[in-house]
Every structure is written in C-alpha cells, then in structure tokens.
Amino acid sequence: MKNIDFIVDSCTSLRYFIPIVEAGNLRGINSNFFVLKNNKYNCPFDKRNFFHLENLSNLFKINLFNFERELLKKTESKVIFTIEGSKKEFLKYYDLKISLTTMTDYTVLYKKYVDYVDYVLFPSMFMASYYNDMKIYPIDGREAGGTLTNKNIYLGSTKYDIDIDNYTYGFDKLKNKKKILLFAPNLEDSKSYKLFQDIVKRLKINDNFIVIVKTRGKHPVQKKYQGHAYFEDCHWYPHTSMVLINESDIILTFGSTVTKECVMLNKPFINIDTKKFKHLDFLTSKSCIRIEIEKELNVNSIFDKINYLLDKKVDLDEFRKLRSNFLYEKEKTKVSDKLLDFCKSKF
C-alpha cells in the first residue's frame, strides 16, 4: 500500500484526513487529495481556503488534484477515503472504500452511501447503536437511522490524533483571566441569539473574564457581540474551534455538537439546548451541563452555572467516564495508525 486517495469536498475534511496523511508519511505512503468546489464558506477553492490547503499540502507532502478533471487519473491507489460517502458513485474504481463519519451528520446520510462503501469508521459502537433507531431522534420524516450494520468499524476518530497542546492563539498566557468561549447560535434562531447577546454583554463587563466568540463563516456575528476576541474559521488544521476549546476554561454552546470536542479535550461546558432535535444529549455530567431553553430561560441561572464551573476543579475521571461509555478513550496507538493497519490487513 504505497498510495492512498482522499476526496476533499470541503475544508472540514482536513481535520479528519491530515492525521491519516501524517501516519501514512511515516510508513512511506503517498497521499493524493482530489479536491472539489462547493458553494459554502468551507469551499477548498475559496481563495483563503486554498492558500491554507496549499500550505498544508507542502507541509505534509500531499499531491493535489482537481476532482472534476483528474479523479480517474492513475494514482496506483487501491484505497480511498471519503467523508460521509461524498462522491459515492466514483468509489467503485477502488478495491477498498472507507467513509469517515463526522459529528452526527451520519444520522441522515448513512443510508444514502452505505451500499457504496466497504467500511464506515465510527468513534464507537454506542454512537452507531444510539442513532440506529430514529424513534430516539426523529427528523421530520426524512429517511434516516439504520446506522448499525456489519460495515462499521469502531476505531475512534482520526480528528483527535492531533496533539492540540502544540497550538495556541495566545490565550493560555493570560493566567489571571478566565477564558470563556461562546459558540454563537444562528441569527435566524431569534430566541437563542437574544440570549447569546445578553450573555456576551454581561460577561464583557466583568474584568476577570476574557470573552471569546467563535462562529462559522456563513453566520458572522455583529461587531458589538464579538466579545474581546472573535473567530470564524481561521485555520482548518489544526481547526480553530479545537484550539480555542483547548485554551478556554469553559465553553458555552447553543445546541451544538461541539460538546463532543469538549469531552474529548476535558473541557467543562454549558450547552443551552435550543434545537428540536437533541444532539449528543447523553454527554451530561457535573462538568457537562445541559439547559433546555424552553424550561430554563433565565440568564441569572445560567450565570450561576458559569460560576459553578469556574469554581469547580476539573475532574478528569468525569470526562474519562463519558468517553469510555459513549465515545472512545485515546490510546498510545493513534486511530490513524489503527486505520492504516486495518487497510493493510485487507490486502
């Protein structure tokens, strides 16, 4: 196995693929990225994004190809990786086709691509089992669920192979300040956004806090609610969100699946659950607090919980238990290495 191909349809793929590339480099495996355009903020061909992609390709010795013109180019690869079955109709040209799952996107996508791939990488059997029966997680009648099949492999997630402590935006140097990271809700969700605005304004007047606001490029935040520091997606690898989570003391989200990253990085969070469908609601503990906005819409009670988490010593066993029960615990052997060993065993 001297070559591996990857389908890169968005820059969000990079946080999953680059660790595999790094592991492959140590084994003398060449990595080929077949890159597609999309009409989103994370399009690899966006000028800023492509500059970042080119830098990564130089750093990690990745061969870049334009998907539209060169997918069938002979790369001598028998193995291809894709995210959530992207471009599934082209995978037939490979001997081994593996799709990686992201967050909870597979809940509605899995059925659409599972017949086109050989294997699907999941963080854990629990994740596949929990969303297999969509009575637990109904989605407006859309075809979903059915995520527990014999094609699943449960090795973890390559995204967390990165040593995130090696990266910083400098907030770790502010030892006398408490860093509070807020993931902004969508502006269209008026109730959540109003609450977000109230929280930011109240946090900013406290001199003990550094208020960091993170959003996606498609949902920019008004300047007066950008906190002391404001980020969209500055970097795709390491991803901005993961670096900020690692540097912060506590995280506030509004129904976001970023709670999974918080658990993997041992970071306390308050998830103000605003969405009809409850993502990852099993990730709950004394340090991982969930608030249902319809039942507990009270800014004072939210600040009580913020102060509670800031005063509470981080209990690593608490996070280890959540990972062990629902996700996976990181081991000495990285997921990317386990995945490449799995691929090697198929030839």
User: How many angstroms separate the CA atoms of 242 and 245, rounded?
Assistant: 5
Letter string b/e over residues 306-336, b meaning 16 or more CB atoms within 10 A of that residue's CB:
beebeeeeeeeebbeebbeebbbeeeeebbb
pLDDT confidence bin for 141, thresholds 50/70/90: low
Task: Kindly tell me the burial class for residue 21, based on how many C-beta atoms sit within 10 Å of its own C-beta (0-12, 13-18, 19 or more).
Answer: buried
User: How many angstroms separate the CA atoms of 1 and 78, rounded?
Assistant: 8
Same domain, 201 and 128: no
Of 183, 199, 197, 341, which is closest to residue 267 (Cα–Cα)? 183
Same domain, 321 and 173: yes
Same domain, 112 and 187: no
Tell me the CA distances in angstroms from 263 to 189, 219, 324, 329, one per residue in order.
25, 25, 11, 10
At 60 the pLDDT is: 98
Q: Is the pLDDT of residue 140 over 60?
A: no
Interval 89-109 mean pLDDT: 92
Q: Is the pLDDT of residue 112 over 80?
A: yes
Of 249, 250, 192, 248, which is closest to residue 225 (Cα–Cα)? 192
Model confidence, pTM: 0.94
Rg (CA), the chain: 20
Same domain, 100 and 240: no
- What is the chain's mean pLDDT, rounded? 92
Per the structure, how many domains does the chain have? 2
Which comes out higher in pLDDT, residue 212 or 190?
Answer: 212
Express each pLDDT in 37-62 by its tens digit.
999 999 999 999 999 999 999 999 99
Q: Is the pLDDT of residue 347 over 80?
A: yes
User: How many angstroms separate the CA atoms of 316 and 295, rounded?
Assistant: 30
Same domain, 85 and 225: no
pLDDT confidence bin for 136, thresholds 50/70/90: low
User: How many angstroms separate the CA atoms of 125 and 150, rounded?
Assistant: 11
| DSSP output for 171-186 | GGG-TTSEEEEEEPPP
pLDDT confidence bin for 234, thresholds 50/70/90: confident
Same domain, 134 and 41: yes
User: How many angstroms separate the CA atoms of 178 and 277, rounded?
Assistant: 31
Same domain, 310 and 214: yes
Tell me the CA distances in angstroms from 195 to 149, 180, 190, 249, 347, one per residue in order.
41, 16, 9, 21, 54
| DSSP output for 13-79 | GHHHHHHHHHHHHTTT-EEEEEE---SSTT-TTSHHHHHHHHHHHHHHTEEEEEHHHHTTS-----E
User: How many angstroms separate the CA atoms of 330 and 320, rounded?
Assistant: 10
Same domain, 109 and 148: yes
Same domain, 131 and 190: no
Express each pLDDT in 159-180 by its tens digit.
999 999 999 999 988 889 999 9
CATH for 78: 3.40.1190.20
Same domain, 124 and 210: no
Q: Would you say 95 and 102 are in contact if contact means Cβ atoms under 8 Å apart? A: no
Same domain, 151 and 174: no
At 75 the pLDDT is: 76
pLDDT confidence bin for 294, thresholds 50/70/90: low
**24 lies in which domain range?**
3-157+331-344
Same domain, 171 and 134: no
At 142 the pLDDT is: 59
At 28 the pLDDT is: 97
Which comes out higher in pLDDT, residue 142 or 98?
Answer: 98
At 139 the pLDDT is: 58
Q: Is the pLDDT of residue 138 over 60?
A: no
At 309 the pLDDT is: 96
